[in-house]
Homo-oligomer: A and B are copies of this chain.
Amino acid sequence: MTGHTIYRSSSYAPVNIAVIKYWGKRDPTLNLPTNSSLSVTLSQSDLRTHTTATCSASYTSDSLLLNGKDQDISTARTQACLRELRTLRRKLESESPHPLPELSSLPLKIVSENNFPTAAGLASSAAGFAALVRAIADLYGLPASPTELSRIARQGSGSACRSLFGGYVAWNKGEKDDGSDSVAYEVAPASHWPDMRALILVASAEKKDVSSTSGMQTTVKTSSLFPARAEQVVPKRMKEMEKAIQGKDFETFGNITMAESNSFHATCLDTSPPIFYMNDTSRAAIRIVESLNQAAGKVVAAYTFDAGPNAVIYYLAENEAEVAGTFKCILGKKEGWEGQRGKAVTAKKELNGGAKVAAETLMGGISRVILTAVGDGPMRSEEHLV
């Protein structure tokens, strides 16, 4: 083998957890959603994908390795991302006044690693596609903005577009048929409201009932309540939520977050056949949050559930003792408290009566916790996996 140059670039990208949910596509090929959505980007010290993109004439074909396992790179979604990125590189190559290496025609070898257990059932595809797009864009030296890259990442996995930004991020559903205006934008950076914390309760591993891709299509086709959600409920909440974030109004942020999660799962239940992502453990988490808010006389904690039974509980740093402390009291023996953030939490000693039954259910159904916070967007890394 002759010494072909290996070009490479690495990037970290974050996980995001929506507070206004993406559920339903108006165009399944382009991943264009029926409604806008909004998420909080989580800290990459706790949850991130690390991806190294390399290309070389010595490679025989494109390949993707995730956590040491070969992935199928021929899927329409991954191909859409690679095609878009190569097109941008080709444009760069052809328009450059000085000759550039023709990276657009070289096979890609992409290597990815998550710093969190894949089995946790966390939406890793968002961080995965964001890191892939960001790493290849850097490899290709593309001048593309995060907005432009979000348009590309969206075609890999809808919610991935929101992982191109840090902080509080919206995904505008867009109006155009070609999806060119269906992109993410920053509502506020993490630094605007840095006190946002997220406690993730990972439910004991169970295979997902219905994949979100097929589930959301069935909902669009069969739920008679879904149109009201997409056309009326979400547009109103998007405006209210952006305002709540601008004004650091946790009460409104929390109320909308909880109502949104319930609205999304309600349309899942209204699907034929019905889709259930929450289970009795999820409901126990809701009961604990309700009792926390009742005891505080205001909203100090807000739950949200994606397409699975895991609970994500948002709260502000000032209420850590009350919120995370209560969950540490219940779940202190589970994995996940041993990190720096977890150690800093003092387990509360008492739980009120109503929450006790829920606490037992929770203890039986949760396998680990992840304590994290709002964080920044993708970052270039000099640490390479290849």
Contacts and interface: CB of A to CB of B under 8 A. Distances in A.
Interface of A: 224-225, 227-229, 232-233, 255, 258-259, 262-263, 265-267, 269-274, 276, 279-280, 283, 286, 290
Q: Which of A262, A286, A290 has the most CB of B within 10 A?
A: A262
B269 A265 contact: yes
Contacts of A265: 269
A89 to B, nearest CB: 45
Contact of A280 (B263, B269, B273, B279): B279
Nearest to A262: B274
Contact of A266 (B232, B267, B286, B290): B267
Nearest to A222: B259
Given A259-B270, A265-B269, 9 more contacts: A224-B232, A224-B259, A227-B228, A255-B272, A262-B274, A266-B267, A266-B269, A276-B283, A279-B283
Nearest to A303: B274
A21 to B, nearest CB: 13
Q: Which of A255, A266, A286 has the most CB of B within 10 A?
A: A266
Given A224-B233, A283-B276, A262 B255 contact: no
Q: Which of A255, A265, A267, A273 has the most CB of B within 10 A?
A: A273
Instruction: Tell me the number of copies of this protein.
Output: 2
A260 to B, nearest CB: 10
A266 B270 contact: yes
Contacts of A290: 273
Contacts of A229: 224-225
A262 B280 CA distance: 17
9 contacts: A225-B225, A225-B229, A259-B270, A262-B269, A262-B270, A262-B271, A262-B272, A266-B267, A273-B286
A210 to B, nearest CB: 12
Given A225-B233, A269-B269, A286 B263 contact: no
A280 B282 CA distance: 11
Contacts of A283: 276, 279
A224 B232 CA distance: 9
Contacts of A262: 269-272, 274
A224 B290 CA distance: 20
A233 B270 CA distance: 11
Nearest to A228: B228
B286 A274 contact: yes
Contacts of A227: 228
A280 B274 CA distance: 13
B280 A225 contact: no
A78 to B, nearest CB: 31
Nearest to A233: B224
Contacts of A272: 255, 258-259, 262
B270 A263 contact: yes
Q: Which of A229, A259, A263, A274 has the most CB of B within 10 A?
A: A274
A258 B271 CA distance: 10
Nearest to A274: B262
Contacts of A271: 262
A184 B121 CA distance: 49
A232 B225 CA distance: 9
A196 B269 CA distance: 26
